[in-house]
Amino acid sequence: MLKLVKLLKTAKNRQKNKIEKNKKMLEYFELSEFDSPDLPNSSKGMCADFLQMIDNARGIAGIPFKINSGMRTIAHNRSLNSKDTSSHIKGCAADIHCNNSVDRSKIVAALIQAGFRRLGIANTFVHVDCDNEKPNAIWLY
């Protein structure tokens, strides 16, 4: 009888572990939002630290982050005339849609508060990455 109880408990714990393992990792994003458009599920190659940080930043900003571009295959990156050294290929970058100064202020402030130190500001997006092979920088397009 004791053995049966133990077995049932083990089964219950296994189920519990399974549920926790499948729990959504990100609060504000579906992983697929970071897919390279030419390769389904390519967002699996995204850096886990990057995803956690951008998810935190989204929470701090309090406004939606529309991801224009996340992971990029070399082919997709080249089609955008971007260099092969792009942090998007490494899976540690994203471009967040933004076309007005108020949202830009919220997004940039939240990214910095979340720990990002590499930002690129364009008219219609904010690039962010956590590429530790590159220096801290804020640039314009």
CB atoms within 10 A of CB 141: 9
Task: Choose between 35 and 95: whose C-beta lies nearer to Zn ion.
Answer: 95
CB of residue 131 vs Zn ion: minimum separation in angstroms?
Answer: 10
Q: Which is nearer to Zn ion, 52 or 82 (CB)?
A: 82
Of residues 22 and 136, the one with the C-beta less far from Zn ion: 136
Task: With beta carbons less than 8 A apart as the criterion, state whether 56 and 107 touch.
Answer: no
| Binding stretches for Zn ion (CB under 5 A) | 95, 127
Q: Which residues contact 38 (CB under 8 A, 6 or more apart)?
A: 73, 75, 76
Smallest gap from Cβ 93 to Zn ion, in A, equals 5
> Least distance from C-beta 69 to Zn ion, angstroms?
6
CB closer to Zn ion out of 7 and 75? 75
Q: How far is the CB of 120 from Zn ion (least distance, A)?
A: 6
